[in-house]
Structure 1
Amino acid sequence: MKKTLGTHNYYIYIITNKTKSVLYIGVTNDLKERLYYHSNPEANSKHFSHKYNCKYLIYFEHYQDIETAISREKQLKKWSRKKKDFLISTKNPNWGFLNDEV
């Protein structure tokens, strides 16, 4: 049996570049902090998100269990671009940048 100590927050998220041509999928327990990290090149200059200028949040899901969040992240990473695009469009039809909503 699993013990739970209060509510936990975990997020899977999708960020993109300005032209929305590249998608990056990640998991975190602090979405606001992670977006800050992706937006500051000095913090992540060697990572994929910096290389492709991915810093605009376009999709996220909230979970209270880290195993579930990681499992969902792995699932999404295996999807085709077409399927990911459809998922994003279901919650964010205009693909607006959601950074200020977090």
Structure 2
Amino acid sequence: MPWTYILECRDGSFYTGSTNGDLEARIWEHNHDDAFAANFTRRRRPAALVYAERFDTVDAAFFREKQIQGWSRRKKIALIESRWEDLPSLSRSYGALRQAQRPNDG
């Protein structure tokens, strides 16, 4: 079964990936197998699974991986914590968020 997953690394950073096989084996690879681990997680071991979604197709899992990779840290945390109601408000673009935080120049 294809999966999209989020790992939390030793330094607190998140890694988002997808796999078309055994999720537990993939997590093991991130933590133990230098030949198959992503460079990102290899330097930040150990990495713990904090979120996973199962999909019907590899394409759907890969699409979701890319979608989540574009999210802010705050939005990823809301997803991990199953705070579904917070996801729409965290969807504003970074530029719009920065603009809203600037004091008026007027």
Q: Which protein is bigger by CA-based radius of gyration? A: 2
Q: Distance in 2 between matches of 1:45 and 1:11?
A: 16
Asked if structure 2 preserves the Cα contact closer than 8 Å seen for 1:13 and 1:60, the reply is: yes
TM-score, normalised relative to structure 1: 0.71
* Aligned twin of 2:95: none
The answer on 1:47 being equivalent to 2:61 is no
Residue 11 (structure 1) shift: 0.2
Structure 1 gap ranges (5+) = 1-8, 92-102
The answer on 1:28 being equivalent to 2:52 is no
TM-score, normalised relative to structure 2: 0.68
Q: 1:48 to 1:17 in 2, by over 3 A?
A: same
The percentage of aligned residue pairs carrying the same residue is 33
Asked if structure 1 preserves the Cα contact closer than 8 Å seen for 2:3 and 2:23, the reply is: yes
Structure 2 gap ranges (5+) = 84-106
Aligned length: 82
Q: Name the amino acid aligned to 2:13.
A: V
The answer to which structure, 1 or 2, has the higher relative contact order (CA under 8 A, 6+ apart) is 1
Asked if structure 2 preserves the Cα contact closer than 8 Å seen for 1:15 and 1:54, the reply is: no
The answer on 1:77 being equivalent to 2:69 is yes
